[in-house]
Structure 1
Amino acid sequence: MKAVQFGAGNIGRGFIGMQLSGSGYEVCFVARNERQIALLQKRGQYTVMLAGGLGGEDVSVVRNVTALRISDGEAVARQVAEADLVTTAVGAGSLKHIAGSIARGIELRLRENPRVLHVIACENTIRGSSQLKKWVYAQLDPALHGQAERLVYFPDSIVDRIVPVQQQEDPLAVKVEPFFEWVVDKRGTAEDFPAIQGIILTDELEAYMERKLFTVNTGHCVAAYFGYLAGCLTIQEAMRKPLVKIKVRRVMQETGRMLVEKYGLDEKAHVAYIEKTLERFANPGLTDRIERVARSPLSKLSYNNRLVRPAMLASRLGLPVSNLADAIAAALHFDSNSDEDAVRVQRVIRQKGIQSALGELTGIPVRHPLHKEIVSRYYRLNERYAAGYKLADGR
């Protein structure tokens, strides 16, 4: 079996490519990094290190791989035309840039040898495959749209594996956490969906989607923002601070109550999921920098993202949101000169004051009770840190 994987970054190699190879696929990475492409073509394999909870590592060799440049248009289209599966891990913002290559491959496939193809976007975004489909159809010959609708499937997907930015001596080697989750919307697949190890097929993707977003993604950025205020450099360092860990757990408990109420999740199972997530954040075998996880606060503070949306949903259900309010206030204190979003957030707060800025940055109405609570907690954090307060010291 043949798979085309767009993106040969840490997630592409350390997660998607690894799972596909382990499932018996020959994997062709489509990438931009010339050095990685040359090495993948020469070696046909690479190593993945699984960072254990005690700092130990298991090393796996991922075989039967090669690579092409994204600029090699005809060769890439030919690979797509002949593939059994197409996957992506390029970042949601880059999906539109690879859509043309996928469209050309689908055109060749439908004209020469029409058969079923699944295209799965494995991105940290909501309904990435649906987004990709729109970009592909915009560049696909309209005369082929009807045939494509019958044969080409774009099932939405959720992927979860912590892979920090890293510098390995070997440009192809990558270190990842042992835990992973890859969930695919069964409703968007053909009956003969190909076998891939580790994939969960579900009719309830929305529940999995929000469980992951409002537990893992929410908890991760909360650890980053409180870790930043505690003077930490990495998530692992932050999670060794008892009060940071308490803050993160309490936020995830609030999002958890909302998820249990909304989707009828098993409460005990979700508590176990929260505790497992805390273990993942603290994994001493990984080094995940605060700046990486905290970056782009404008996106993280937006109305439908990981902090504000669960807070609004919980508030609507009449559930507690005090810890989520505290987390949003902490995010509003993230002040990094190397992050354009953070610079803009601080500029808006200085120019308009926190009350007006909060509404502009988050979309939370001024009259909403959550707005008042966040402002109050923002000022409380201001007072504590102006007085030399250190979250890590618990004073």
Structure 2
Amino acid sequence: MKAVHFGAGNIGRGFIGHMLSASEYEICFVARNKKQISQLQQRQEYPITLANPEQDTTIVSNVTAINITEHERVAEEIAAADIITTAVGVSALKDIANPIAEGIKLRLMQNKTAPLHIIACENAIAGSTRLKKKVYALLDEEIREQADTCISFPNAAVDRIVPVQNHSDPLQVTVEPFYEWVIHRPALLPGFHEIKGVHYVDSLEPYIERKMFTVNTGHCCAAYLGYLEGFKTIRQVMKDPSLRAKVRHVMEETGALLMEKHGFDSQKHDKYMNAILERFANPNLTDKVSRVGRSPLRKLSPNDRLVRPVMQASEAGIETPHLISAMAAVLMFRDERDPEAVKMQNMISEKGVSGFISDHMDIPANHIVHQKLLASYETLQASVRSEVLSN
């Protein structure tokens, strides 16, 4: 069986590629990094190491790669594939829509009717649906109708911490032992070959929101709260009892929402939160605050890990003082190496914090969450100024 995976980064190699290979797929990575592409073509394998005390290492085999600029070859690979996956980042889905569309055209021109599943393994709700809209916008109506008979875009939720890292081997990647890949079963076409280790569910939203509101929300809150204290890594943040408690309180607030909305068992969710906190504190994994905190504009968008749960909790009558306080810390994030952080601070300077909350976060000025967030930001600003003056 053949898999085409867009993105040969750490997640692509250390998570999706590993699982596809374990299920006996031959994998063709579509990437941009010429060094990685050359290495994958020559070696046709690479090592992944678990961030555990034993540093267990596995070899991922049956792999190769091509450059995304090789349009005809990419289309040919897609035409011959059984599955297509992505791990490029939500903002880059638009960049891979055209090569996927061209591959679909070629596939249908060759009268191939075997099922093809295209799964966006991104940190986003309905990532595959987003990708489908971008791909279908490039196809005419007749081709779209043909595609609907044999091509599906199942949504998925993915979870594995893979920090930025440097190895002497350009293909080696270190990953945490934990992983979770959940796929929406009703979207699968007859003949789909199940991937070992994937959890197939009839309703995906509870799993996506559990992951997003617990892992993603907790992780980024740890980064922004740690940033204000001058910490450089998430592990340092989690070793601070006060900050660890704050992150736990945020997760308890989002947990209350998840239990109310999806009926999660309180004891099981408590164990889930504890496991997440231990993952953040993994002594064998060094994850930088700057990496986890990067792209604050995306993280503060209306449908992402901060605004979405705080607004849903407000509607449900659930108080979220710790989440709101952490969101105030996001508004104070400054990293000159992060274009989004720079842009966010420029927007705040131009519009004021209240204007930013209204315009970018889409929280009206008369909404209680807006008022509480503004008050929390002003309190935090005063606290930081006071600390600077005292020093």
What's the CA shift string for 1:220-241, capped at 9, x where partnerless?
1100010001110011111111
1:39-58 equivalences under 5 Å are 39-52=39-52, 55-58=53-56
> Which whole-Å CA distance do the structure 1 matches of 2:92 and 2:358 have between them?
29
> Are the counterparts in 1 of residues 5 and 12 from structure 2 also a CA contact under 8 Å?
yes
Structure 1: unaligned runs, 5 residues or longer: 390-395
User: Alpha carbons of 1:356 and 1:95: their partners in 2 closer, same or farther (altered >3 Å)?
Assistant: closer
**How far did 1:193 drift?**
1.9
Find the aligned partners of 1:351 and 1:76 in 2 and give their Cα distance: 44
Partner Cα separation in structure 2 for residue 349 and residue 97 of structure 1: 29
- In structure 2, the partner of 1:248 is 247
> Aligned AA for 2:116?
L
Greater shift, 151-160 or 106-115, is seen at 106-115
Contact 1:296 1:341 in 2 (8 A): yes
Alignment partners' CA distance in 1, 2:145 and 2:365: 48
The residue aligned with 1:342 is 341
Verify the 8 A CA contact 1:20 1:196 in the aligned structure 2: yes
Offset of 1:87 from its aligned partner?
1.0
1:392 is aligned to: none
Q: Which amino acid aligns with 1:6?
A: F
Aligned: 1:12 with 2:43: no
Instruction: After superposition, give the CA deviation of every residue in 1:335-362 in whole Å (9 maximum; x if it has no partner).
Output: 2222233233333434444344433342
Residues 3 and 85 of structure 1 are in contact (CA less than 8 Å); yes or no, is this contact kept in structure 2? Answer: yes
- Rate the CA distance shift 1:308–1:39 in 2: closer, same or farther, 3 A: same
Identity %: 51
Cα deviation code 1:218-265 (max 9, x no counterpart): 001100010001110011111111111011000000000001101111
Distance (whole Å) between structure 1 residues aligned to residue 304 and residue 98 of structure 2 = 29
Name the structure 1 match of 2:284. 285
Aligned residue for 2:233? 234
Shift in alpha-carbon separation, 1:99–1:374, aligned structure 2, 3 A: closer
Distance 1:229 1:149, change over 3 A: same
* Corresponding position of 1:117: 116
Deviates more, 1:292-301 or 1:363-372: 363-372
Q: Residue 103 of structure 1 corresponds to which residue in structure 2?
A: 101
- Name the CA distance, whole Å, in 1 between partners of 2:84 and 2:312: 35
2:60 to 52, 59, 62: 62
Count of residue pairs brought into register by the alignment:
388
SS at match of 1:125: coil
Q: Which amino acid aligns with 1:146?
A: E
Tell me the CA shift for residue 141 of structure 1.
4.8
In structure 2, relative to structure 1, the CA distance for the partners of 1:118 and 1:358 (3 Å cut) is: closer
The normalised TM-score by structure 2 is 0.95
Which segments of 5 or more consecutive residues in structure 2 lack a partner in the other structure? none
Asked if the contact 1:109/1:115 (under 8 Å) is kept, the reply is no
Question: Would the aligned equivalents of 2:325 and 2:373 in 1 still touch at CA under 8 Å?
Answer: yes
Q: Which amino acid aligns with 1:33?
A: N
For 1:340, the aligned partner's letter is P
TM-score under structure 1 length normalisation: 0.94
Check the 8 A contact 2:115/2:192 in 1, yes or no: no
- Counterpart of 2:184 in structure 1 is 185
Moved more, 338-347 or 301-310: 338-347
Q: Give the direction of change, closer, same or farther, for the CA distance of 1:363–1:108 in structure 2 (3 Å limit).
A: closer
Rounded to whole Å, the distance in 1 between the matches of 2:79 and 2:66 is 14
| Residues 1:163 and 2:162 are matched in the alignment | yes
Q: Which stretch has the larger CA shift, 380-389 or 160-169?
A: 380-389
- CA contact 1:107–1:141 (8 Å) conserved in 2: no
Correspondence 1:129-208 to 2 at 5 A: 129-208=128-207
Q: Which runs of 4+ in 1 moved over 6 A?
A: none
Q: Secondary structure at the match of 2:50?
A: strand
Distance 2:173 2:383 in 1: 40
Please state if 1:74 is matched with 2:66: no
2:301 maps to a residue whose letter is: S
Partner-residue secondary structure (3-state), 1:211: helix
